[in-house]
Copies of this chain bind each other. A is one copy, B any other.
Amino acid sequence: MTSYLNQVACHEQGIAPAIAVAATPDKLLMQAWVNREALATAVAEKRAVYWSRFRKKLGRKGEESGNVQKSTEIRLGGDAICYRVKQIGGIACHTGRANCFYQRLENEAWVTTDEILVEPE
């Protein structure tokens, strides 16, 4: 197997965290997971590809919604990989928000702070 894939520390079930960051300006979009197949596919197709723990299959971001993440760079840091992407449509979250981190901890409760920009189908 290609060496760069083996250098990603995959723990449980051969998966590692994958973090998507918008390229310009720098903006945290989402966290999901990759296995080696997802990462190799992302490299081949120059887009963010994840491994769905729930559905147990590859997921090309934006496959259904059209909100593709075009990968401009892939980075490795500790246990995780980072996709630096151009987020097509400006919507990274399946809830129709710009990013998935739309809840903030306030007085020991998660409070939704970000509005839905596009109503999900």
Contacts and interface: CB of A to CB of B under 8 A. Distances in A.
Interface of A: 2-4, 7, 11-12, 17, 19, 21, 25-28, 30-33, 43, 53, 73-80, 82, 93, 99-105, 108-110
Contacts of A77: 28, 30-31, 93, 99-103
B110 A28 contact: no
User: How many copies of the polypeptide does the oligomer hold?
Assistant: 2
Given A28-B26, A28-B28, A80-B31, A75 B17 contact: no
Contact of A17 (B80, B93, B102): B80
A104 B17 contact: no
Contacts of A100: 77-78
A104 B84 CA distance: 10
